[in-house]
Amino acid sequence: MDGRQFVQDLLAWYGQAARSLPWRASPDPYRVLVSEIMLQQTRVDTVIPYFQRFMERFPSIGELARAPEQDVLKLWEGLGYYSRARNLQAAAREVEAAYGGVLPDSAGEMKKLPGIGEYTAGAVASIAYGRAEPAVDGNVLRVFARLYAIAQDIKAPATKRAVTQIAAQLLPDARAGAFNQALMDLGALVCTPKSPRCGECPVQAHCAARAAGVQAQLPMRSASRTAREEHYGALLLQCGDAVCVSQRPGRGLLAGLWQLPQTATEEATARQATAELARSITGRDVAVSGPLGRYTHAFSHLHWTIDLFAAYSDSDVCADGSFHYADAGQRAALPFGRVFLRMLADHARGGRGGHD
């Protein structure tokens, strides 16, 4: 490949085709960092409204650092991968404490902060500080796997190391941020995961996969592990308009978020297990009806199936202190996991079940 010509063609295309994104309007380090963290595993269209609300509420790294964690999680509610939000706030607190409130300008320093890996550090250092750092995520890996017809597992660390080395060699020092963003846009708009638009690709003349006609077969991936299946019975336990809720533990899956009471069970015993759960919460026998619906939620390594049952109590006193009754106003202020938000929304509408 003629690297110089490739960079020229890519940047010329980026100059006229760059996506207009809210964090690009004023790429200060904090805004770029928040956008990059939100964009991990998440589509741009989904991120934009979250980013805008987040910036309105936490316009600076100091305001994010000083906010209660529950406020941060509330603004992240529905975006998933909540450890990103907790790490982002932990990073903001460390920047306040150790760097005078200014995000460090080198990728090496940035990587010392919680939740900031090689890609994010490279993206922020290049876009916000103009540092000559590559930023190789899954999209950029795919683009390079095709450009160089790399027939190796795209998930293998050796492949990522090789691609990072290629990107670092091509990187134009004076325009590192534009180069990295151009690759991101090329992956999002043209060299898409399925059916790359080679006919309209600005770097098609440099592409080994297109020349060999193998772009549809690349990148290569090893078979992914099958997600573990878990079945739960959940409980919509009401006392008047209030609904019984609990907070998940501070560590692990959906840490610190709120949920409807639920218990692990087999499908066949879901009603009985949920009735026992209702008894342990209220301290007495409670009639359980349903299921109201079946809900599924996919995590990266885990798949939940939840049958939702209904019960009523005439007392809002809980025998188990880890449960509370929350009215509509209180529920609106608490951050819930997405699948539980859907249960509550369906309940408000009288609907039944669904998938994430």
Taking CB under 6 A as the criterion, the residue among 159, 181, 204, 259 binding ligand SF4 is 204
Within 10 Å of residue 318's Cβ, how many Cβ atoms?
20
Q: How far apart are the first and last CA of the chain?
A: 43
- In this chain, which stretch among 104-112, 115-123, 208-216, 265-273 interacts with ligand SF4, using CB under 6 A? 208-216
Written as six digits, the tokens of 330 are 């209180």
The residue count for binding ligand SF4 (CB under 6 A) is 15
Determine if 146 is a binding residue for ligand SF4 (CB under 6 A): yes
- Cα 345 to Cα 231, 235, 332, 339, distances in angstroms: 21, 14, 11, 10
Tell me how far, at minimum, the Cβ of 278 lies from ligand SF4, in Å: 55
- In this chain, which stretch among 194-202, 239-247, 300-308, 336-344 interacts with ligand SF4, using CB under 6 A? 194-202
Query: For residue 291, is the peptide bond before it cis, meaning its omega torsion is within 30 degrees of 0?
Result: yes
Tell me how far, at minimum, the Cβ of 138 lies from ligand SF4, in Å: 14
Taking CB under 6 A as the criterion, the residue among 196, 233, 291, 337 binding ligand SF4 is 196
Determine if 313 is a binding residue for ligand SF4 (CB under 6 A): no
Residues in region 56-95 near ligand SF4 by CB under 6 A? none
> From the DSSP assignment, how many helices (H) and strands (E) are in the chain?
16, 8
In this structure, which long-range contacts are made by residues 38-44, counting pairs with CB atoms below 8 Å and at least 24 apart in sequence?
Answer: 38/79, 38/84, 40/81, 40/84, 40/120, 40/137, 41/80, 41/81, 41/300, 42/79, 42/80, 42/81, 44/19, 44/188
Give the integer Cα–Cα distance in Å for 328 and 332: 6
Determine if 342 is a binding residue for ligand SF4 (CB under 6 A): no
Taking CB under 6 A as the criterion, the residue among 84, 86, 210, 231 binding ligand SF4 is 210
Tell me how far, at minimum, the Cβ of 133 lies from ligand SF4, in Å: 22
Written as six digits, the tokens of 259 are 């949920």
Give the integer Cα–Cα distance in Å for 193 and 190: 9
Residue whose C-alpha is closest to residue 163's, from 177, 143, 144, 146: 144
Taking CB under 6 A as the criterion, the residue among 116, 190, 281, 343 binding ligand SF4 is 190
36 is catalytic: yes
> For ligand SF4, which is the closer residue by CB, 197 or 301?
197
> For ligand SF4, which is the closer residue by CB, 154 or 203?
203
> For ligand SF4, which is the closer residue by CB, 183 or 318?
183
Determine if 32 is a binding residue for ligand SF4 (CB under 6 A): no
> For ligand SF4, which is the closer residue by CB, 89 or 215?
215
Give the integer Cα–Cα distance in Å for 339 and 46: 17
Considering the candidates 36, 56, 63, 94, report the single residue annotated as catalytic.
Answer: 36
Determine if 147 is a binding residue for ligand SF4 (CB under 6 A): yes
Report yes or no: 187 and 145 within 8 Å, Cβ to Cβ. no
Q: What is the CA radius of gyration of the chain?
A: 24
- In this chain, which stretch among 22-30, 72-80, 207-215, 269-277 interacts with ligand SF4, using CB under 6 A? 207-215
- In this chain, which stretch among 195-203, 229-237, 238-246, 295-303 interacts with ligand SF4, using CB under 6 A? 195-203
Determine if 201 is a binding residue for ligand SF4 (CB under 6 A): yes
Taking CB under 6 A as the criterion, the residue among 198, 220, 253, 341 binding ligand SF4 is 198
Tell me how far, at minimum, the Cβ of 54 lies from ligand SF4, in Å: 32
3-state secondary structure 148-175: CCCCCECCCHHHHHHHHHHHHHHCCHHH
> For ligand SF4, which is the closer residue by CB, 199 or 329?
199
Unique residue bearing structure tokens 């190789």: 136
Q: Which are the catalytic amino acids?
A: 36
List residues binding ligand SF4 (CB under 6 A): 143, 146-147, 190-191, 196-198, 201, 203-204, 207, 209-210, 215
